[in-house]
Amino acid sequence: MAWNRRLRLSMTGLVLASLAARAQAAPLVLQNGRLEVRARWQSPEGTSGLGVPVALTRDSGTFWFYGPDNVELVVKTIDACQQFGNLWIFAAGLTNVAVHLEVTDTWSGRSRVYDNPAGRAFQPIQDTGFDVCGVTHGCGQGTVEQLQSTPRADEEAEQLALLLGGDLIASNADYARVRADLATIRAARPVLADFHFLPNHSPHDLLFTVDADTWLQMKAGQYHAWDCVNAWYGVRTEVFSQFPVGALELRGVVDLERVMVDFRSLPGLKSLELDAGGIGIDPPPPLRVVCAIARGDVYHYFFDDTGRSVPQAQWLSRPGAAPEEQASVDQTLLHLCEGTYLGLASN
């Protein structure tokens, strides 16, 4: 009896020691900030609290109740909007205490609630009917369909199509046209297969600085002002440990200068800029580059070997027609292409 009493006292001390942390427990944030998952529990003796989340991946995580070494719940979500028209929620428990599990879609405010009564082993949850895929978002630009279309299989063609089309995200038609154009040109002139598009900045990354208080919130996982926009664009965040700076890595190929507008209004943000480090292409310089410029619906592709071992070439593409090599290179248009460091320029 004395041993049991000491055990109960020990358990009570453990619960009291972690109450403050549990009372302020943040939600488990999944799907790049779109979903927030909260768990509340109550023991048969009447002890209760909030589950403390531990993220595993962008789509899954766990909760503990009594201590961090005692996992109680596992939750996984799947974005099945494109394939099946719903978000999917799966959960499993290693407990028989009462559990109230709530999953909230931050875009719509809608929630799914799952209750497990005390004294019953937690029943698996396999919910494939969370109907929030058609919900309009509260932040960001573009549409769900556009953002789900990127990244595509041929990222080089997608980057060129994005610049030629001038939209937030390259259209399917522009992407297909550029990809077909490049394939046709390289098949006709195999030597041009070694020429690649070199953007003048990283196509996925933004760099930011924040004030000291915001940096501490970000490091502690308590900064949620960016949750909505991160979820919308599929952003992976990195906050550096030594300085109040960080990076945003966008999943798809988008017009980063437009996207920056949605981040610049975030509280605590001091600066935001493109990652001008660019991307490297092997072998190192001299470089063989391709750039493109649009004049109406006519695309001009330029192939330039900075080592001059291959003569400059210009190909012209009209809608519905195969690209044609030009007899001479328009140096004015080529200069416009190279004006932004081998990216695209337009008038």
pLDDT value of position 137: 67
- Domain co-membership, 170 together with 66: no
What are the tens digits of pLDDT across the range 205-244? Answer: 999 999 999 999 999 888 988 988 888 888 999 999 888 9
297 phi and psi angles, rounded to 5 deg: -95, 15
Q: Quick one: average pLDDT of 307-327?
A: 92
- Domain co-membership, 237 together with 284: no
Q: Is residue 346 part of a domain?
A: no
Alpha carbons 224 and 212: distance in angstroms, whole number: 16
- Rounded to two decimals, what is the model's pTM? 0.63
Q: Distance of CA 35 to CAs 26, 104, 222, 231, 233, Å?
A: 12, 6, 15, 9, 14
- Domain co-membership, 15 together with 112: yes
Domain end call among 232, 247, 274: 274
Q: Is residue 50 part of a domain?
A: yes
Indicate whether 290 pLDDT > 50: yes
Mean confidence (pLDDT) of the chain: 85
Q: Is residue 125 part of a domain?
A: yes
- Domain co-membership, 90 together with 23: yes
What are the tens digits of pLDDT across the range 123-139? Answer: 999 999 999 887 766 78
Q: Quick one: average pLDDT of 265-286?
A: 75
What are the tens digits of pLDDT across the range 33-87? Answer: 789 999 999 998 888 999 999 999 989 999 999 999 999 999 999 999 988 999 9
What are the tens digits of pLDDT across the range 160-214? Answer: 999 899 899 999 999 999 999 999 999 999 999 999 998 888 899 999 999 999 9
Q: Give the residue with greater pLDDT, 81 vs 347.
A: 81
**Contact call for residues 62 and 56 (beta carbons, < 8 A):** yes
Q: Is residue 138 part of a domain?
A: no
Alpha carbons 200 and 220: distance in angstroms, whole number: 34
Domain count, the chain: 3
Q: Where are the beta strands (DSSP E) in 108-262?
A: 111-116, 125-130, 205-210, 235-239, 245-250
Domain end call among 244, 274, 304: 274
- Domain co-membership, 172 together with 294: yes
Q: Which amino acid is residue 26, in one-letter code?
A: A
- Domain co-membership, 125 together with 48: yes
Domain end call among 130, 159, 174: 130
Q: Quick one: average pLDDT of 295-319?
A: 91
pLDDT value of position 110: 85
Q: Which of 19-28, 215-224, 263-272 has the highest mean pLDDT?
A: 263-272
Phi/psi-derived region of residue 300, left when phi > 0, alpha when psi is between -120 and 50, beta in every other case:
beta
Distant-in-sequence, close-in-space partners of 297: CB < 8 Å, separation ≥ 6: 318, 319
Question: By mean pLDDT, which of 71-75, 229-233, 264-268, 318-322 is the weakest?
Answer: 229-233
Alpha carbons 134 and 149: distance in angstroms, whole number: 15
- Domain co-membership, 285 together with 249: no
Indicate whether 337 pLDDT > 90: no
Distant-in-sequence, close-in-space partners of 322: CB < 8 Å, separation ≥ 6: 184
pLDDT value of position 20: 36
Q: Give the residue with greater pLDDT, 329 vs 276.
A: 329
- Domain co-membership, 111 together with 196: no
pLDDT value of position 19: 36
Q: Is residue 139 part of a domain?
A: no
CATH number for the domain harbouring residue 209: 3.30.70
pLDDT tier at 310, thresholds 50, 70, 90: confident
Q: Starting at the edge strand that comes first in sequence, how are the strands of the sheet with 288-295 ordered?
A: 288-295, 298-305, 313-317, 324-325
Q: Is residue 38 part of a domain?
A: yes
**Contact call for residues 89 and 103 (beta carbons, < 8 A):** yes
Q: Is residue 344 part of a domain?
A: no
Distant-in-sequence, close-in-space partners of 312: CB < 8 Å, separation ≥ 6: 302, 303, 304, 305, 329, 334
Q: Distance of CA 249 to CAs 16, 70, 231, 291, 343, Å?
A: 40, 33, 12, 24, 20
Q: Is residue 135 part of a domain?
A: no
Indicate whether 21 pLDDT > 60: no
Alpha carbons 107 and 272: distance in angstroms, whole number: 25
Half-sphere exposure of 194 (CA within 13 A, CB side): 14
- What proportion of the chain, given as a percentage, has pLDDT over 70? 87
Indicate whether 281 pLDDT > 60: no
Domain around 209: 205-274
Half-sphere exposure of 238 (CA within 13 A, CB side): 9
pLDDT value of position 99: 97
Indicate whether 347 pLDDT > 60: no
- Domain co-membership, 209 together with 245: yes
pLDDT value of position 277: 66
- Domain co-membership, 19 together with 90: yes
Half-sphere exposure of 174 (CA within 13 A, CB side): 24
- Domain co-membership, 185 together with 164: yes
Alpha carbons 272 and 235: distance in angstroms, whole number: 15
Alpha carbons 62 and 260: distance in angstroms, whole number: 33
- Domain co-membership, 18 together with 55: yes
